[in-house]
Structure 1
Amino acid sequence: MNTQEVIITWATPVFFALIALELLVAKLRGRSVYHSTDAINSLGLGVISQIVAVFSKLLTLGIYAWCVQRFALFALPANSVWVWITALLCYDFFYYWLHRAGHEVNILWAAHVVHHQSEDYNLSTALRQTGSGVLLGWLFYLPMAIVGFPLEVFVVVALIDLLYQFWVHTELVGRLGWFDRVFCSPSNHRAHHAVNDKYLDRNYGGILIVWDRLFGTFVEEDDTDPPVYGTRAPLRSWNPLWANAEVYWATAKDAWHARHWSDKLRVWLKPPGWRPADVAERFPKPAFDIERERYLPALSRGLTIYSLVQFALLLGMAVQFLDLAKHLAAVELLGYAVFLVLSLTALGALTEGRRIGVGLELARLLATAAVPLLTGGWFGVPRLPAGTIGAGAAVLAVSAAVVLWLTASTTGQIGSDKAVSGRPSP
């Protein structure tokens, strides 16, 4: 197990312990900072991001290692404290520019938007990550390879920068005085996630907020203008595949409809929201309304509990997938990845309260039972005891019966996309 895997292994239970602590503190303070279906969607997107990362490491880390070997200007030692400190500062600097570009260049926003789609702001939002950021994000860190920072140093400082940003995604930590002036903090990052005019596209720093102060993108959180979270083009879906594809699809449609070839290119490179004049005229979109209804389809308590239990089981499978990634054959690993992504998509449709979600969930349960019944094993496990297969099939049969019972007893909710009015509790 390499250093990165060790850190992730230890960090994951800490993440969930802190989420539980945030829930407890919020309850004690009489605050509502979580909505179950939103949290399932955010955590599911985090799972998909990790699944994609298993297959993308060869591209991102392979290119970095290749550049270090061939173009490094210096042979920086991996056993030097100053190399590590400098590497972390450099990584955070380049992260600032990647993050800023992710808000100013539409094709980069198409990937980064996933992290901003939640209309809640809590620790589960921190784990809501893109599955397509790998396509272009690695370009911003190549200067570190050219300088000569070893691959193992780059990997660890990247992980440190990412892990640091987890704790700043909370509404329960207030102002921190001098700390807010130097580091990215919960207050600074709340402003970053807000869609209010005064906060829009500010505070990009990962660990240090001084980059924003240096380059003119800093804004302080204002108690008289509380942050409103989400995006200016709300996702309004719990479908994780659509969450990753929505901006790419909207941009592709605008490029297709644009009459001028220059606009077909510019729509990808301009800031998010920019549209060719002829396209905007023929295909207008509603104006942004900060008082819009938040997306929260009605879901019975029974279906909410069912969804949480099923998501916990899928999360356990995802952990197994990440462990298998070290030695499972590529074809079987890909099959498991597809199974998990489609399962999360089916669960998303169910939590949207749509009729098709019931059918997709039943199909998911059937497929989950079919794999061990037909093969005698599971992904990465060639042979399971007959008792285990029987018990698993029984659990899935009970799950199917529960779904049918719950949806039959909540006629009128299923098939409704009605959103709940108002904003999250302050």
Structure 2
Amino acid sequence: MFSVIKHPLVTGLRRMFILVSPNETSFEKLEDVPNYVDEAVPYFIALIIMEWSVLYLRGGNLPRLNDSLSSLSHGLLSLLHSLLFRSTELAAFMWAYTHFNIITLPWNNPITWFTCLLAVDFAYYWVHRFGHEVNFMWAGHQTHHNSEDFNLSTALRQSFAHRYSNWVFYVPLALFLPPSIFLVHNQFNLIYQFWVHTETIGKLGPLEWILSTPSHHRVHHGRNPYCIDKNYGGVFIIWDRLFGTFEGEKDEEKVVYGLVHNINSWEPVYAQLHHFIYVIKTAWNIDGLSNKLSVIFKGPGWSPGKPRLGCVEDIPQVEPSPVKYDSNISVWKAIYIWTHFLILLLFWQPGLSMHKQILSTSYLSMNIAYIVFTLFVFGCMYDKRSYSDELEMIRSVIFVVAWQLGATMPVSGTICGLYLASAVCWVAVVALNKTAVKNKEK
């Protein structure tokens, strides 16, 4: 019934909420399946702008620029990773389908489409639940939870590593589902979850019994004791109700977001990797093979003598309005960071994605490494680290040199001029800072 509205803009919006018919989103061949995630990006941006507008009109607090940049940086890291490596989930599914498929449901049957919708979300429930209950999987998934804010940009805060364990839970579906329909719903499952990351939408009445909603997902992102390890469903909340992991939002207790122990940094590379480092160090230092394996495979809250998932009483109580990690940088530096970040987001990364089939692996890798370094530097600048000016000087000079050598993506003369001016300015800033330090020492 939804397919009667054929306008492309409306069709794209309907996909965000899976308000599409099986006929318009069923494909026989894998290569015919559209890249729905890439096509949804303009809608992500439009909805983020709409959320900002609603918050402004309501007189509420707007999303913080440092937190928003951090979320977008994580999303960009995830996109960059996919430029070099195939989808692990799809690759594993295809391998299992080739070797172990028992019966393939007809790709053009609506029953197959709805079966896949439920099956993919059921598998996602367990992906998500194990991502919280198994420490090495939490090391990847914690990236999505390390924001102390909760808005639509938080949905883009993704881990590059979590996908390397997700595939295990989707492989059984290859026993009976056609790959093309699996790919459709694997994308829809991800796209749907974007809109539930917001505080601007309240409870949705009867829909709360069936669907995963913003209210349910606010609880999931909370670090209040009652919120921990709850509401894992992607599209449907029915799995949480069936398996005892459901918790409703409490009107009398405001949800406080973030990790139990926040990392207090805007630097995205550290945010992606810090818990992996913690798990490795803890497993290395603890005595006994059983304890070492428990550190890896039991919950993040486990320690010797405690239950698999740790003890609820160990979770610290939170203040209703806790002080969030923040750092105030000058207006001109914030404008500078966002200008250069938008160049990466709107021109550089899309250029790499568009031309990746004709670019050499070494060329692609060098450009990706430079973008990752850029995100690291911008995080350091927002963290106000003492060496951030020197890092930005190095980053700007590297671009100018690489541009002269033809090692960067082709960009406009305006962008090249901006980088050249940036390099000159930062060389001057660093030189003046060093002179000021020497004069102060004298």
TM bucket, shorter chain: 0.7 to 0.9
Distance 1:133 1:184 in 2: 21
Report the equivalent of 1:265.
Answer: 293
Residues 1:404 and 1:368: Cα distance change in structure 2 (over 3 Å): closer
- Match of 2:85, SS? helix
Aligned residues: 395
Q: CA deviation at 1:330?
A: 2.0
Q: CA deviation at 1:109?
A: 0.5
The 5 Å alignment of 1:315-354 reads: 315-316=345-346, 317-354=348-385
The 5 Å alignment of 1:151-230 reads: 151-230=179-258
Q: Which of residues 52, 62, 68 in structure 1 aligns to 2:91?
A: 62
Residues 1:83 and 1:393: Cα distance change in structure 2 (over 3 Å): same
CA-to-partner distance for each residue in 1:344-386, whole Å, 9 max, x for gaps? 11111111111222111121111122212122x633x5xx8xx
Q: Which of residues 396, 399, 406 in structure 2 aligns to 1:368?
A: 399
User: What letter matches 2:46 in structure 1?
Assistant: A
Distance 2:281 2:117 in 1: 40
Distance 1:302 1:331 in 2: 35
Is contact 1:267–1:276 with CA below 8 Å preserved after alignment? no
- Match of 1:198, SS? helix
Q: CA deviation at 1:328?
A: 2.0
Q: CA deviation at 1:329?
A: 2.0
Matched, 1:93 2:132: no
Q: CA deviation at 1:86?
A: 0.6
Q: CA deviation at 1:409?
A: 11
Residues 1:140 and 1:107: Cα distance change in structure 2 (over 3 Å): same
Is contact 1:33–1:121 with CA below 8 Å preserved after alignment? no
Distance 2:290 2:298 in 1: 12
Distance 1:182 1:315 in 2: 36
Q: Which of residues 128, 134, 143 in structure 2 aligns to 1:105?
A: 134
Residues 1:46 and 1:5: Cα distance change in structure 2 (over 3 Å): farther
Residues 1:172 and 1:405: Cα distance change in structure 2 (over 3 Å): farther
Q: CA deviation at 1:134?
A: 2.0
- Match of 1:237, SS? coil
Q: Which of residues 161, 166, 186 in structure 2 aligns to 1:137?
A: 166
Is contact 1:107–1:269 with CA below 8 Å preserved after alignment? yes
Q: CA deviation at 1:78?
A: 1.9
CA-to-partner distance for each residue in 1:108-165, whole Å, 9 max, x for gaps? 1111100000011000000110010122111010110122x12221111010000000
Q: Which of residues 318, 341, 344 in structure 2 aligns to 1:314?
A: 344
Report the more deviating stretch, 52-61 or 187-196: 52-61
Residues 1:42 and 1:3: Cα distance change in structure 2 (over 3 Å): farther
Is contact 1:302–1:406 with CA below 8 Å preserved after alignment? no
Residues 1:58 and 1:6: Cα distance change in structure 2 (over 3 Å): closer
Residues 1:221 and 1:371: Cα distance change in structure 2 (over 3 Å): same
Which blocks of at least 5 consecutive residues in structure 2 are unaligned?
Answer: 1-29, 307-313, 435-442
Q: Which of residues 386, 390, 402 in structure 2 aligns to 1:359?
A: 390
Report the more deviating stretch, 54-63 or 198-207: 54-63
Distance 1:373 1:37 in 2: 32
Distance 1:135 1:6 in 2: 20
Residues 1:321 and 1:3: Cα distance change in structure 2 (over 3 Å): farther
Is contact 2:96–2:175 with CA below 8 Å preserved after alignment? yes
Is contact 1:161–1:207 with CA below 8 Å preserved after alignment? yes
Report the more deviating stretch, 182-191 or 49-58: 49-58
Report the equivalent of 1:45.
Answer: 74
Q: Which of residues 312, 316, 325 in structure 2 aligns to 1:295?
A: 325
Report the equivalent of 1:394.
Answer: 417
Report the more deviating stretch, 269-278 or 28-37: 269-278
Is contact 2:139–2:273 with CA below 8 Å preserved after alignment? yes
Q: Which of residues 90, 93, 115 in structure 1 aligns to 2:144?
A: 115
Q: CA deviation at 1:405?
A: 8.3
Q: CA deviation at 1:403?
A: 5.6
Is contact 2:367–2:408 with CA below 8 Å preserved after alignment? no
Distance 2:274 2:92 in 1: 28
Residues 1:308 and 1:254: Cα distance change in structure 2 (over 3 Å): same
Q: CA deviation at 1:77?
A: 2.3
Report the equivalent of 2:266.
Answer: 238
User: What letter matches 1:261 in structure 2?
Assistant: L
Report the more deviating stretch, 109-118 or 314-323: 314-323
Residues 1:240 and 1:2: Cα distance change in structure 2 (over 3 Å): farther
Distance 1:399 1:181 in 2: 54
Matched, 1:36 2:36: no
Which blocks of at least 5 consecutive residues in structure 1 are unaligned?
Answer: 279-285, 412-426
- Match of 1:82, SS? helix
In the superposition, the TM-score normalised over structure 2's length comes to 0.84
Residues 1:164 and 1:254: Cα distance change in structure 2 (over 3 Å): same
Report the equivalent of 1:421.
Answer: none
Distance 1:210 1:409 in 2: 61
Q: CA deviation at 1:94?
A: 0.7
- Match of 1:57, SS? coil
Distance 2:433 2:120 in 1: 51
User: What letter matches 1:22 in structure 2?
Assistant: E
Q: CA deviation at 1:26?
A: 0.4
Report the equivalent of 2:5.
Answer: none
Residues 1:359 and 1:289: Cα distance change in structure 2 (over 3 Å): farther
Q: CA deviation at 1:394?
A: 2.4
